[in-house]
Structure formats: C-alpha cells, structure tokens
Amino acid sequence: MSTDSSPETEIDISKKEILISSSEINQRVAQLGKEISADYQGRELHLVGVLNGAFIFLADLVRQINIPCQICFLQASSYKDQKVSSGEVTLMHNLDLRGKDVLVVEDIFDTGLTLKYVMEDLLRQKPNSIEACSLLNKKIPNKAEVTVKYIGFDIEDRFVVGYGLDFAERYREVPHIACLD
Ligand code: IMP
C-alpha cells in the first residue's frame, strides 16, 4: 500500500553531507553557555527561544548556563515550507519583559529579517538589556542590521537541517547539521 509520496519523504538524510557533527555542536554549546554565564553573572537571565527552530538549541544551551534563568518562547515564521524566506515575518507571543535581561535564542541568522523583527518587537517592552544568540550564522551579503552577540558557527550559504532546523517541518530531530543541497 502506498504511503505519503511527497518529494521530501524521498530524501535519505543519512546520505546528506554532515556540516557540523553532534559532538562539535555539544562542544560549542558548552562554550557558549560558559561565556553567557560569565557575562550575566549576578543577574537573572530571561532566555526567549524563537520557535520552532530554536527548541533543541535552547534546551541544550540552558543546561550549560550556571546562573538563574527563566525560559520562554515566541513563535516566528517567515518560510512557509520553502527554502527561501518569504520576507514576511509573523510573531506570536504574550511575553512581558519590562526591566528584564533578555537573550533571544535563534537557530539560524540568515537574512536576519526574523531576528531584526523580533528584537524590535521585544525592545518596545523596554527590557533592561537585550542581546541575541544564534547557533548558526549564514554568510550572505546584505543581511539585516542586527547585532548577534553570540554565534555558534559561521556557515556558507547552504540550506541546512537538523538540530531543530527543518525543511517543510521535516528533519528537526536529526542530531547533527546536514546540508540538503
Ligand atoms: P531569516 O529571517 O532569513 O534570518 O531566517 C530566519 C529563519 O529562517 C530561521 O529561524 C529558520 O527557521 C529559517 N531558516 C533560514 N535558513 C534556514 C536553513 O538553511 N534551514 C532551515 N531553516 C532556515
């Protein structure tokens, strides 16, 4: 009997190039956790994960941070099942971050439109401080003007999945970063 025959189901992810292994990710996430803990020593950090892509990164990162933290999420979407950004960002949250020290946690800083939009939105709540942390930074020209203080890895302009990142909601569970192109 035939099952789902959409093209995505035919991709054999185990045959795709591994760009960043899970042990490389673990090492880098531990370093980031140390750096962030040192920078926010004596303060309570409010981590805001950008769903869906940042859920695994945030879960691992928070366990490498050794200062008091609160964790919350907002939902952002801009890709709508495609490999190229639609350029339109929609946000959903009911956060109240007034006076808080906020670290926005993102899976990938590509065009930067999402992060710029998120940072501008959260800034309106008048946090005490706000910074961004992204696991990946795609090296592309003409990125949106937004400062990302903590970056896990710089990567070339390729479409990647795994460790929370998807293509049409698939491959988020893959433990490493793989290239789909
Ligand atoms: P930006 O607004 O172009 O920076 O894109 C940010 C969002 O697009 C990320 O949070 C991801 O969800 C998604 N995205 C960008 N590049 C990739 C990719 O290579 N693989 C999977 N998702 C991506």
Q: Is residue 5 part of a domain?
A: no
Percentage of residues of the chain with pLDDT beyond 90: 82
Q: What is the CATH number of the domain that holds 125?
A: 3.40.50.2020
Number of domains in the chain: 1
Model pTM?
0.91
> Which residue out of 107, 137, 148 has the highest number of ligand 1 atoms within 8 Å of its CB and is therefore the one to mutate?
107
Q: What is the pLDDT of residue 84?
A: 63
The answer to whether residue 69 sits within a structural domain is yes
pLDDT at res. 9? 60
Q: How much is the pLDDT for 53?
A: 96
How many CB atoms are closer than 10 A to CB 36? Answer: 25
Structural domain boundaries, residue 100:
23-78+88-159
| 79 in contact with ligand 1, CB cutoff 6 A | yes
| CA–CA distances in Å: residue 62 to residues 4, 30, 99, 105 | 36, 10, 21, 10
- The predicted pLDDT at position 7 comes to 52
Query: Distance from the CA of 34 to the center of ligand 1, in angstroms?
Result: 26
Residue 1 lies in a domain: no
Q: Is residue 171 part of a domain?
A: no
Cβ of 109 below 6 Å from ligand 1: yes
Q: Which DSSP letter does residue 84 get?
A: S
Annotated catalytic residue within 101, 110, 154, 157: 110
Read off the pLDDT band of 88 (50, 70, 90).
Answer: confident
- Residue 181's pLDDT is what? 86
167 C-alpha to ligand 1 centroid (Å): 10
With cut-offs at 50, 70 and 90, classify the pLDDT of residue 1: very low
CA distances from 44 to 11, 32, 36, 73 (A): 43, 17, 12, 17
Active site residue 121: no
Q: In percent, how much of the chain has pLDDT > 70? A: 90
Q: Is the distance from the beta carbon of residue 112 to the nearest atom of ligand 1 less than 6 Å? A: yes
Is residue 30 a part of any domain in this protein?
Answer: yes
Would you say residue 80 has pLDDT above 60?
no
Determine the average pLDDT of the residues in 164-173: 95
60 lines ligand 1 (CB under 6 A): no
Q: Is residue 7 domain-resident?
A: no
- 163 Cα distance to chain centroid: 10
| Residue 114 Cβ contacting ligand 1 at under 6 Å | yes
Residue 14 resides in a domain: no
Would you say residue 102 lies in a domain?
yes
Q: How far is the CA of 44 from the centre of ligand 1 (A)?
A: 29
Residue 86: pLDDT over 70: no
| pLDDT, average across residues 97-101 | 98
Mean pLDDT of 135-149: 96
Q: Is the pLDDT of residue 115 over 60?
A: yes
Average pLDDT, the chain: 92
pLDDT surpasses 60 at 12: yes
